[in-house]
Amino acid sequence: MSVFTGSAVAIVTPFTEQGEINYPAFAKLIEFQIANKTDAIVVCGTTGEASTLTHEEHLDCIRFCVKQVGGRVPVIAGTGSNCTETAIYLTQEADRAGADAMLVVTPYYNKATQKGLIAHYTAIAACTKKPLILYNVPSRTGCNIKPETAACLFQNVENIVGIKEASGDLSAAAEIMARTNGEMDLYSGNDDQVVAMMALGAKGVISVLSNIIPEEVHEMAASYLRGDVEKAKKLQLDYFFLEKAAFCEVNPIPIKKAMNLMGLEAGTLRPPLTEMEEQNVARLRAEMEKVNLLRRDA
């Protein structure tokens, strides 16, 4: 059984003006997602600024999210690291905290070989019985999971069940599915490729845009899954330019700005991320206005 089908939000980590984790705001964001049909919550991923959290903060966020969700939707914990032992530690602790699955990004900066990736992921999977979803985002990590490597891990490690494919390479996604007879759980890691990826057999999306339009992203995936491809396609295209504006600076800078504009209290960014450039704020605001986001009651 898949960890989830449909739309999972890669949820932000809200910070106070002093840079501390804002747990009351975090609780509200989780409730906003669940109320608006999000199918799963990914905590402490890229969008959650996990790279600037201490290990204690990272695990506290996971524990808080699991408790707040209370089993209503799956909680998928980001537990990747460029150090295998650290990834094992975070995975074990997330397991103890009650996370339903782990999302494990490739080691960044080290530039592991494909052999190294197999050893890395096999070691992490051995420390838990919970399902693992590989996370391939070479534009951020400098490390690409080749389709044959993803297939090898899926076929040889029982609890490696899926992959968040964010390389933007649809041919690679197709090859993963071809090599695994369509059995590996594929998730789009890019909001502008949801329908295209689902046409190749993806189960859904792990979405940044869902932070501001959770019901629409859920419906995009749900429509495709129930066979209403035209509706899914319409939603994909209706929000295409909003998605582009939401990525006109590095994630999560624009999505946090969009949330704050909506009154969703995402708070500040942690250095080295900085506030959005004013001309890009204007672009983002304009696209939000086109889809009536600034007039919604969040």
Catalytic machinery residues: 135, 164
218 SS3 class: helix
> Cα separation of 193 and 205, whole Å?
9
> Cα separation of 261 and 276, whole Å?
12
Cβ neighbour number for residue 65 with a 10 Å cutoff: 26
> Cα separation of 226 and 294, whole Å?
30
What separation in angstroms does the CA of 173 have from each of 75, 79, 113, 169, 183? 24, 23, 20, 7, 12
Q: Under the phi-then-psi rule, with left for phi > 0, alpha for psi from -120 to 50, and beta for the rest, what region is 24?
A: alpha
Contacts 24+ apart (CB under 8 A), 55-59: 55/86, 55/89, 55/90, 57/21, 58/90, 59/90, 59/93, 59/94, 59/97
What separation in angstroms does the CA of 295 have from each of 46, 234, 256, 289? 28, 22, 17, 8
248 DSSP 8-state letter: S
| 177 touches 160 (CB < 8 A) | no
> Cα separation of 33 and 215, whole Å?
8
Residues 6+ apart with CB under 8 A from 161: 2, 3, 101, 131, 132, 133, 154, 184, 185
Quick one: which of 26, 33, 32 has its CA closest to 12?
26
